[in-house]
Amino acid sequence: MDGRPTSDRVEAVAAATPFRLLYEFYRRSGYERRRHEPGVLDFTFGDPHDLASDEYVEALREAAVPRHELWYAYNFGDRAATEAATESLREHLGIPFEVEDVHLTTGGFAAISAALKVVADPGDEVVYSLPPWFLYEGLVLEAGLVPVKVSIDRDTFDLDLDAIAAAITPRTRVVIVNSPNNPTGRVYPPSTLAHLADLLEDASQRHGRRIFLVSDEAYNRIVFDGTRFRSPVEFYPWSFVAYSYGKTLLSPGERAGYLAVPPSMPDREAVRAAIEAIQITGGWLFPNVTMQYALPRLERIAFDIELFQRKRDTMLAALREIGYHVKTPEGTFYLFPEAPGGDDAEFARALDREGVLVLPGGMFETPGFFRICLTATMDTIEQSLPRFAAAFASVG
Ligand code: PMP
């Protein structure tokens, strides 16, 4: 008798490379204790390090007060919240999304997972680029799909379109694109997105099966130097936008985001019903009602892009002065420098000895680099600079 309490599927999910490494780091490495030790400077995850603003707290407080007996009833997507999300999406992307095509979810996780399940059947392949967001592989496996990984161009951090083209097979159903990219900070230019669209159209025609694009845009409002973010959705009609409020509002523990379908998508009625079905059967993947009611107010809270640009510029200038090789991120709140000495795990340990916590590139299946997260405070950034210098000297 097979007495195992776990399914093959969950075993595969738990063994998925970045997910397993993340889990081990978070739960087993002592990180949870270490990050709270006095004097330790934490640059690992996109968690907030400043107290939430009064504006934010007030929006949630107001949303918690019931105004009628159905206030806390099941809610598939509050109309005012969905309208606010749709309006800002239209404004940000310059695409006339319809309110009925914006589906509020419990953040980016649920939006990506729902998109995969709506279009793909078990055994279908999902192509994405390394370094990836940690959870792509886990979400793909959990949906019964097959992850197919290609590398970005490591010199430019751009998508390697030839590698994507070569990875496509008759079983390819989805390509995930993440721009602005976690962890590289790269914002893919319109020319790349246009070529990608051509490539996906050609491959779909060749194989007689539509390939869909899932655009993971959790950071689409976090772009620097006045750059206008361009969404892959503008270029390829068979695309979904997965968005999370956790980044812009610096509150990933309060779950809200959406999956949006552009007006260019054929047969949107069927897609609408399919997304809702997956949200329900996936375990009620709608935000809690208080988050929904707060959303119109939360939408009006601006991300302090000047502050984050100052943090990026301070860190970049200091690292380069020390001798680090690091590209300028065009968006997100991450830096992805090369690990001095070449061994990212060893270098992360050298930084740890200085009391600075970062994530080694190996955790993103991209050895030789490491990730710095700038949700740390400006004060923490300034304190860390001599320590980054000391760690650099220790491997030099
Ligand atoms: N995509 C990317 C690229 C991310 O970095 C994250 C969060 N780290 C997500 C999706 C998921 O966002 P959320 O936790 O808000 O659902």
Half-sphere exposure of 43 (CA within 13 A, CB side): 34
What is 71-298's CATH number, 3.40.50.720, 3.30.830.10, 3.30.70.20, 3.40.640.10? 3.40.640.10
**Four-residue CA torsion sign, 28, 32, 33, 39:** positive
End-to-end CA distance of the chain: 57
Q: Is the CB of 252 under 6 A from ligand 1?
A: yes
Where residue 91 falls among pLDDT bands split at 50, 70, 90? very high
Nearest residue (by CA) to ligand 1, atom 9, is: 108
Q: Is the CB of 220 under 6 A from ligand 1?
A: no
Q: Is the CB of 298 under 6 A from ligand 1?
A: no
Q: Which residues have CB under 8 Å from 156's CB, separation 6+? A: none
Mean pLDDT of the chain: 96
User: Per the structure block, which two tokens stand in for 260?
Assistant: 């949006």
Residue 209 has a CB neighbour count (10 Å cut-off) of 13
For residue 109, how far is its CA from the centre of ligand 1 (angstroms)?
A: 6
Over 90: is that where the pLDDT of 280 sits?
yes
Whether the CB-CB separation of 355 and 39 falls below 8 Å is answered with: yes
User: Tens digit of pLDDT for each residue in 200-254?
Assistant: 999 999 999 999 999 999 999 999 999 999 999 999 999 999 999 999 999 999 9
For residue 322, how far is its CA from the centre of ligand 1 (angstroms)?
A: 31
* Residue of 22, 26, 129, 135 best suited for mutating to test ligand 1, as the one with most atoms within 8 Å of CB: 135
Over 80: is that where the pLDDT of 396 sits?
no
Q: Is the CB of 331 under 6 A from ligand 1?
A: no
* Residue of 109, 240, 373 best suited for mutating to test ligand 1, as the one with most atoms within 8 Å of CB: 109
Q: Is the CB of 47 under 6 A from ligand 1?
A: no
pLDDT the model gives residue 28: 85
Left, alpha or beta for 226 (phi > 0: left; psi -120 to 50: alpha)?
Answer: left
Q: Which residues have CB under 8 Å from 256's CB, separation 6+? A: 104, 105, 106, 107, 244, 245, 246, 287, 291, 292, 295, 298
Whether the CB-CB separation of 210 and 231 falls below 8 Å is answered with: no
Strand 125-130 vs strand 172-178: parallel, antiparallel, or unpaired? parallel
pLDDT the model gives residue 19: 83
Over 90: is that where the pLDDT of 139 sits?
yes
Q: What is the 3-state secondary structure (H, E, C) of 342-372?
A: CCHHHHHHHHHHCCEECEEHHHHCCCCEEEE
Where residue 27 falls among pLDDT bands split at 50, 70, 90? confident
Whether the CB-CB separation of 333 and 385 falls below 8 Å is answered with: no
For residue 259, how far is its CA from the centre of ligand 1 (angstroms)?
A: 13
What is 8-52+303-395's CATH number, 3.90.1150.10, 3.30.230.10, 3.40.50.10890, 3.10.20.30? 3.90.1150.10
For residue 217, how far is its CA from the centre of ligand 1 (angstroms)?
A: 9
Q: Kindly state the percentage of the chain with pLDDT values over 90.
A: 94
pLDDT the model gives residue 2: 84
User: Per the structure block, which two tokens stand in for 313?
Assistant: 């510029």
Q: Is the CB of 279 under 6 A from ligand 1?
A: no
Over 80: is that where the pLDDT of 85 sits?
yes
Q: Is the CB of 109 under 6 A from ligand 1?
A: yes
Strand 356-357 vs strand 41-42: parallel, antiparallel, or unpaired? parallel
| Ligand 1 nearest-atom number relative to CA 181 | 3
Burial of residue 66, with CB atoms counted within 10 A of its CB: 0-12 exposed, 13-18 middle, 19 or more buried: exposed
Show me where the domains of the chain are located.
8-52+303-395, 71-298
Mean pLDDT of 263-289: 96
Over 90: is that where the pLDDT of 71 sits?
yes
Mean pLDDT of 40-62: 97
Q: What is the 3-state secondary structure (H, E, C) of 24-61?
A: HHHHHCCHHHHCCCCCCEECCCCCCCCCCCHHHHHHHH
Whether the CB-CB separation of 318 and 388 falls below 8 Å is answered with: yes
Where residue 17 falls among pLDDT bands split at 50, 70, 90? confident
